[in-house]
Amino acid sequence: MKRAQPSFLNAIENSVDRRRRPRPISRVNLESLLTRQSCMTLSQDPPLPSTGEMDEYTEENEQYEQDSGSSDVKDEETVKVCLRLRPNKKSAPGRMIFHVKDNTLIVRCQGENVSSSTKHYTFSNVFDDKVSQAEVFDSCIRPAIRPTLGEPGATFLTYGTSGSGKTYTLLGNEEQPGIVPRSIEQIYEELCDNISLEPSLKMESMKPIPLSDESVLDELRKLRVIKSRLQDTEESQIMLSEIIQSQHQFQPLEMGDKRVFIWISFVEIYNENVYDLLNVDGDFGKRKPMKVLSNDGNAYIKGLSTLYAGTKTDAYNLLQYGLQSATYGSTDVNSNSSRSHSIFTVTIITHSVSTQRISQSVYKFCDLAGSERMKKTGTMGDRLKEAQKINTSLLVLGRCLETVHKNQKAKKIHDLVPVRDSKLTMIVQSALLGKEPMTMIVNVYPLEEFYDETVNVLNFSSIAKQIIITKERKMVKAPHGTRYSFFLSQAITSPSVNSDKNQLLMEYESLKQENERLVAETEQKNAEIVCLQRKLAIQEFQLRNELTDNFQQHFVKMEESCEMRIRCAKEQAVILYKHQLATLEKMLKSKDQLIMEMEDEQEEYEKKLKDYEAELSKYQRQQSRNRRQSV
């Protein structure tokens, strides 16, 4: 029979069907698995009570077969998978009982009408609900942050259902800071005096670039903008620092002449779109999806804002600004933290002044979206799309881990790890391809109502836990130049594994059916879309015709109205001219009259003048006659 690949999305409760219930088997703990270069999840059934009722769990009931193993893989880096239980305030135990013993989580469950079963999940570390944030950091994160050793960096992921404590583990709160603020403290306290305050060296598209004076000023300007957009956070940052430093002893490292440059970026992946959370120059709160590119197995995001954090305060400010942008963005695209993945990246560039050697270590902190199944998140519209995208990226992450595990079992590069199938796996590909260590903290909220999800999460993490990534020196070069890890482990085949596989086969079938249903639904929706598109095209054509008619009618009316207005204006002008002409004619007539009257008067005066002249000459003649007579 063809064996199914393990699936983590659709677990079926194994107590439902006796045939699928795991068979009793001796348990192997994590240490032994690691030393035998393999690891597995074991299922175990306790002897069934004849009544079908479940016994109370007691440690004495358990029979462990400790495997001594050899220590021939001590120098190997592994994918670390740690489990953390969230405190459960609800006292009723329900049908699930969780018990932690060393590095194993023992889950005992009972159904109403079925017999009980017990499963054992081994991890690198198992933290019960009483573990402190400091303990989680010290055992899972602190040893992996070693920038001075020229290591490539590390990827840290928190995985689990919504509300299981992923963000709490990663960020924590003001009294209980999480692994990100603790890592910031560690980095800045250990590298302290060697950190350059001037952002003069940057990585761009995976290459070191010395920055010009203008670029340095621009980087400092961006930090000032970010600071101005944050509320006064200095006091709370100081308190956070004090809390962390009271719980850990960080010593400055001997760095010689090395100068250190620390750059930070922060992205969110929502609906398979990558958004920049530190974009200072764009509109605050408005986001554009970005492209993820790959260069020799290392991913980089085109145009991503990577800002300089020369001090601890800058790093805290950038973290806070990114979280603030995510909150603004969430109202913009209707996302929230549970439905998106976020990745906070700290890049440490080390420049040795004497040797001129430059190395970089990249630390990625990933808060993954809640791993709920679609049935629970609802299957309508945006929510369906969202759930599909979240599940796609987590499914691809699971597939990548499965492929790595398969290659590991086959002791050769059998299949390519499908890191390019989702944005999340593209971004964390260097960890998935074995170039750097990966630590996954699996968060579980041990509540009755999350039973199915919790089983899925545990199945998923069991796949991750079966992987051992060898150190760089054991890498082999693939023909096309991409580097892959050569995995040396060999899985232990046991009846319980077969039993698990049968169960997983059923889960796979059920997932397949769900997939088929969704494909059919998608096809139907596509047909509806085509039909709607046709209707839309017809409506558009009718609308265009109506619009053309309307425009024509409008133009005709406008022409008529213009003509009318011109006619009126003409008539008014004619009337005006007529009136003016008549007035002028009248004035002309009266002038003619006046001239005639004046001519008459002139004639009269001329006549009178002639008369006077005649009289004058008569008078003059009389006078001369008189003068002669007197003489």
Ligand X SMILES: Nc1ncnc2c1ncn2[C@@H]1O[C@H](COP(=O)(O)OP(=O)(O)OP(=O)(O)O)[C@@H](O)[C@H]1O
Q: Give yes or no for a contact between 250 and 367, defined as CB atoms under 8 angstroms apart.
A: no
**Closest distance between ligand X and the C-beta of residue 384, in Å?**
18
Binding-residue total with ligand X (CB under 6 A): 14
Nearest CB to ligand X, comparing residues 270 and 484:
270
Residue 167 marked as a ligand binder: yes
Dihedral sign (CA 328, 332, 335, 340): negative
x/- string (CB under 6 A) for ligand X, residues 328-357? Answer: ---------xx-------------------
> Using the rule CB under 6 A, which residue among 57, 64, 168, 486 binds ligand X?
168
**Closest distance between ligand X and the C-beta of residue 3, in Å?**
33
**Closest distance between ligand X and the C-beta of residue 297, in Å?**
29
**At CA 251, angle to CA 246 and CA 254, rounded to 5?**
170
Residue 297 marked as a ligand binder: no
Q: Give yes or no for a contact between 103 and 126, defined as CB atoms under 8 angstroms apart.
A: yes
Nearest CB to ligand X, comparing residues 168 and 486:
168
Question: Interface with ligand X includes 86 (CB under 6 A)?
Answer: yes
C-alpha to C-alpha distance for 409 and 6, rounded to whole angstroms: 14
> Using the rule CB under 6 A, which residue among 22, 147, 153, 165 binds ligand X?
165
- Other Cβ atoms less than 10 A from the Cβ of 581: the count is 10
C-alpha to C-alpha distance for 59 and 65, rounded to whole angstroms: 14
**Closest distance between ligand X and the C-beta of residue 320, in Å?**
17
Residue 160 marked as a ligand binder: yes
C-alpha to C-alpha distance for 81 and 39, rounded to whole angstroms: 11
Which residues within the stretch 437-476 sit at the binding site for ligand X (CB under 6 A)?
443
Compute φ and ψ for 104, nearest 5 degrees. Answer: -125, 135
Q: Give yes or no for a contact between 416 and 59, defined as CB atoms under 8 angstroms apart.
A: no
Residue 161 marked as a ligand binder: yes
Nearest CB to ligand X, comparing residues 164 and 429:
164
**Regarding beta strands 96-101 and 104-109, do their DSSP bridges make them parallel or antiparallel, or are they unpaired?**
antiparallel
C-alpha to C-alpha distance for 163 and 536, rounded to whole angstroms: 44
Which residues within the stretch 132-161 sit at the binding site for ligand X (CB under 6 A)?
160
C-alpha to C-alpha distance for 497 and 30, rounded to whole angstroms: 16
Residue 282 marked as a ligand binder: no
Residue 376 marked as a ligand binder: no
Residue 166 marked as a ligand binder: yes
x/- string (CB under 6 A) for ligand X, residues 302-331? Answer: ------------------------------
Nearest CB to ligand X, comparing residues 130 and 207:
130
The single-letter DSSP state of residue 368 is: P
Which residues within the stretch 11-70 sit at the binding site for ligand X (CB under 6 A)?
none
C-alpha to C-alpha distance for 148 and 191, rounded to whole angstroms: 8
| Closest-approach residue to ligand X (CB) | 165
C-alpha to C-alpha distance for 577 and 588, rounded to whole angstroms: 16
Nearest CB to ligand X, comparing residues 339 and 399:
339
Nearest CB to ligand X, comparing residues 343 and 468:
343
Count of residues in the chain? 631
| φ/ψ bin of 620: left (φ > 0), alpha (ψ from -120 to 50), beta (otherwise) | alpha
Beta bridge mates, 365: 156, 344
Binding residues for ATP, as ranges, are 160-167
Contact residues: ligand X, CB under 6 A? 86-87, 160, 162-168, 337-338, 370, 443
